Amino acid sequence: MEGARIGVRLAAGHARAALVVGGEIRHAACRSGDEPELARELRDLARGTPVRSVTWDVSAELDPASAGSPVAAVRVMPRLPARGLGSAHPSPLIRALVRRQAAVIGGHDLFGVELATLDIYEMLRTAAAAQAEGVSALALTATGALGCPDHELAAAEIIRDAFPRLRVSLSHQVGGLGLLDREAATVINTALLGRAEQVVERCVRIARRLGASTSAWFVAGDGGRISAERLRVLPVLGLWATGAAALTGAARLAGVDDAVVALARPEGLAVGHVRDGLPHVATDRPGPGGVRMAVPQASLTPIHGSHAATASAFALLAEHDQHTAVVAVAGTGPQGDGRDGIATDRGRAAAARLSSASVLVEPTAELAAIGAAGTEPSAWLDTVLYAETSEVLARKQAAVEQRALTLVAESGARLGSERVVSSRALSLSFLRSGSYRLVVRAGGRAEDEA
């Protein structure tokens, strides 16, 4: 089916858009606050070509420091901390977002064994106190929730029954091992629920103006794309998506699936990797405000300095990498395109130091917007399991992979295109033999792919 895909990055009151149709790329830029104007710009960009999808990078709109609302953070643990030790998160951002911190007895171990009965009465008292203080959303983090989410689900149910106006985010839906990191992600997620609702609604409305069959998607921090429904519930997944989108765009324009990529920006290079068409991600990188959040985000290493110096540094990295080296200009020009003079000079200097097998990409539109247009459905699961034998491990691993593939399908993958990108079973140190951490990444081709 003929049609175009549009990617849009929203930031600082502006929208930078790229339309990709066949081998052609067009760009547009306008103020993002004027909805009719933005819709008109996108229609003009299409020039009558049916637009199959608009994929939005809204990470700049979801800055928790400016757009987050106060929340109540509730931990569920088998024992309450003595003297409140370890209750408060060390990050100033999280402390600023958490108006009320509480702990309630309950929780499971990593493998889903209940450690203490959930104290539902204390949970209700905590929710009542939070609502009385004017808090409208509650971040719930139960220990062991990835092994068994029952206490989080039970708590959410009784809170919704008793306090229907309170919104609740559950840590097992956010994902990630480690209570502190997962709680931080859940707090940020909860704080952004209101803002995400507004942003998603607006983006969906604008996409609908382009045609009844135009779908709206959102770039995730891992470089995949997620649905409007998923971003409404899990806005934390949409953070820090710009770097991931730019990596995706660079690899696509270079025509490679595996690459070491230098994004040339005015202030320096940012180096990342693309594997099988998806950005290399990590869960231990600091996110907004330096907070580690246990959710995957594209791994980018900044290198600052003069053009010559950053070129030398990247040449050294590229020399030791087995994949194609790609240098991509990732600046934004005065017209909202990719033609930033300083970034272009830096990119050309870096490319000049590389072998002839490398690729220099000078996009005609903003790279992150091009990448957004080209994002594909993806999913990431990080969990713990126990398997006595390799056969049991293989069976359980396959079940988790199937869950990941289902998530990919729900993100608009074309039937049959879903694939497991990577699946690693890592032995857990100092637990009984057969204890594994399983990290699965899956992807697929979008239904609207031209």
List contacts with other proteins (CB under 8 A): 77-83, 85-86, 88-94, 107, 109-110, 113, 115-116, 143-144, 146, 177-181, 268, 273, 284-286, 289-292, 299-306, 308-310, 312-313, 316, 320-322, 384, 425-437
Pick between residue 205 and residue 424 the one whose CB is nearest to other proteins. Answer: 424
CB of 267 to other proteins, least distance (A): 11
CB of 319 to other proteins, least distance (A): 10
Pick between residue 287 and residue 371 the one whose CB is nearest to other proteins. Answer: 287
Please say whether the beta carbons of 272 and 301 come within 8 A. Answer: yes
Plot region of 229 (φ>0 → left; ψ -120 to 50 → alpha; else → beta): alpha
CB of 82 to other proteins, least distance (A): 4
305 vs 194, 346, 367, CA distance in Å? 40, 10, 22
Distance CA 274, CA 259 (A): 5
Which amino acid, one-letter code, is at 235? P
Return the SS3 of 231: helix
CB of 339 to other proteins, least distance (A): 25
Terminal Cα distance for the chain, rounded: 7
Pick between residue 165 and residue 432 the one whose CB is nearest to other proteins. Answer: 432
> From start to end of 81-206, where are the E strands?
98-105, 137-142, 167-170
CB of 369 to other proteins, least distance (A): 24
Pick between residue 141 and residue 215 the one whose CB is nearest to other proteins. Answer: 141
Structure tokens at 244: 């991931």
Pick between residue 52 and residue 89 the one whose CB is nearest to other proteins. Answer: 89
Pick between residue 94 and residue 191 the one whose CB is nearest to other proteins. Answer: 94
Report strand pairing: 137-142 vs 71-77.
Answer: parallel
User: Starting from the edge strand earliest in sequence, which strands make up the sheet with 71-77, in order?
Assistant: 98-105, 71-77, 137-142, 167-170
Pick between residue 39 and residue 180 the one whose CB is nearest to other proteins. Answer: 180
Structure tokens at 353: 């130091």
Pick between residue 162 and residue 394 the one whose CB is nearest to other proteins. Answer: 394
Helix (H) or strand (E) holding 59: none
CB crowding 245-276: b at 16 or more within 10 Å, else e: bbbbbbbbbbebeebbbbbbbeebbbbbbbbe
Distance CA 359, CA 170 (A): 44
Pick between residue 38 and residue 274 the one whose CB is nearest to other proteins. Answer: 274
CB of 210 to other proteins, least distance (A): 37
CB of 305 to other proteins, least distance (A): 4
Residue that is written with structure tokens 């794309």 in the block: 225
Residues with Cβ within 8 Å of 137's Cβ and at least 6 positions away in sequence, in order, are: 69, 71, 72, 166, 167, 168, 169, 190, 191, 193, 194
Distance CA 301, CA 39 (A): 35
Pick between residue 232 and residue 323 the one whose CB is nearest to other proteins. Answer: 323
Please say whether the beta carbons of 176 and 110 come within 8 A. Answer: no
CB of 151 to other proteins, least distance (A): 13
CB of 271 to other proteins, least distance (A): 9
Pick between residue 321 and residue 410 the one whose CB is nearest to other proteins. Answer: 321
CB of 231 to other proteins, least distance (A): 24
Which amino acid, one-letter code, is at 62? L
Distance CA 318, CA 351 (A): 11
CB of 85 to other proteins, least distance (A): 4
Radius of gyration over every alpha carbon of the chain, rounded to an integer in angstroms: 22
Pick between residue 92 and residue 255 the one whose CB is nearest to other proteins. Answer: 92
CB of 306 to other proteins, least distance (A): 7
Of 302, 301, 298, 284, nearest to 251 (Cα)? 298
